[in-house]
Amino acid sequence: MMILNLMFSWLDASADLGPWALAQSAQDAQQFGMDFFELLRRGGVFMIPIGIMSLIVVTFLFERWIGLRASKLMPKRTVSLIRRVLKAPDFDKQELQQASAEGNSALDRILQAATNATGHSMGELQTAVAESIQREVDRAYANVRWLNLGAGIAPLLGLLGTVWGLIRAFHDTTKLVAGQNRADFLAVGIYEALVTTLAGLMVAIPAAVASHYLEGRISRIFRDIQELMSKLIPRMSDEASARRAS
């Protein structure tokens, strides 16, 4: 109750100040932004590799965001074709081969590997499909690993910059002459040294979140592909057995 009263009192005081309070808040925010970028500039030479790592993270984040869309890995036209073939009384291998040859998605390439292995035993067909799925999973994960690298390296670079900054700060205090305020000088050196740790965490946290999200998307899409192919493989195997029997 006391906290609510304090909040309402603060709101009333802010309302009484009117436009002056809003202008002052905007000025404070602008001043904070200027100080923030000035602080990043003071981070020193270790801000350069952290900045490069941030560019790498942003680049591969957008690349994987586009490349891991469901329409790129598992297009609806191919899914619809497979489901139509599963419901049809007669298995049409030629239609599947033609569709997979025309497409360029992960599902198309897996389907092409399956149709090429049609006529072999059930075990060989399953092995061909499993190997094709694994290749596509590795291809999808390739650039996500750069996000994992950014999430792991960026805070280490920030910590390295902070340790180096602290060493310099304490070393510089030993060079001060008598009468200079060592505490103030050391405080400035310490807060500037901590900038690299802040920058490293600002790069690492979004990279880790994005990596986790994209890995979940890859697992979900390829789980759907595996379920779809698990329904198609017995149909292909039955068709091959029927041809061998005839």
In a domain, 11, yes or no: no
In a domain, 79, yes or no: yes
In a domain, 228, yes or no: yes
What pLDDT score does 201 carry? 93
Q: Give residues with Cβ within 8 angstroms of 128, minimum separation 6.
A: 113, 114, 116, 117, 120
In a domain, 121, yes or no: yes
In a domain, 49, yes or no: no
What pLDDT score does 41 carry? 72
In a domain, 29, yes or no: no
What pLDDT score does 241 carry? 54
In a domain, 154, yes or no: no
Domains: count for the chain: 1
State which amino acid sits at residue 13. A
What pLDDT score does 218 carry? 92
Query: For every one of its 246 residues, what pLDDT tens digit does the chain have, with 9 covering 90 and above?
Result: 433 343 434 334 444 434 333 344 445 444 444 466 776 777 778 888 999 999 999 999 999 888 888 788 888 888 888 888 888 777 667 777 787 778 788 888 988 888 887 777 778 888 888 999 999 999 999 889 999 999 999 999 999 988 988 888 887 777 777 766 777 777 777 877 888 898 999 999 999 999 999 999 999 999 998 998 888 888 777 655 555 455
Burial status of residue 22 (CB atoms within 10 A of its CB: 0-12, 13-18, 19 or more): exposed
Structural domain for 222, as ranges? 70-142+217-239
In a domain, 189, yes or no: no
What pLDDT score does 57 carry? 93
What pLDDT score does 22 carry? 32
Q: Give residues with Cβ within 8 angstroms of 42, minimum separation 6.
A: 192, 195
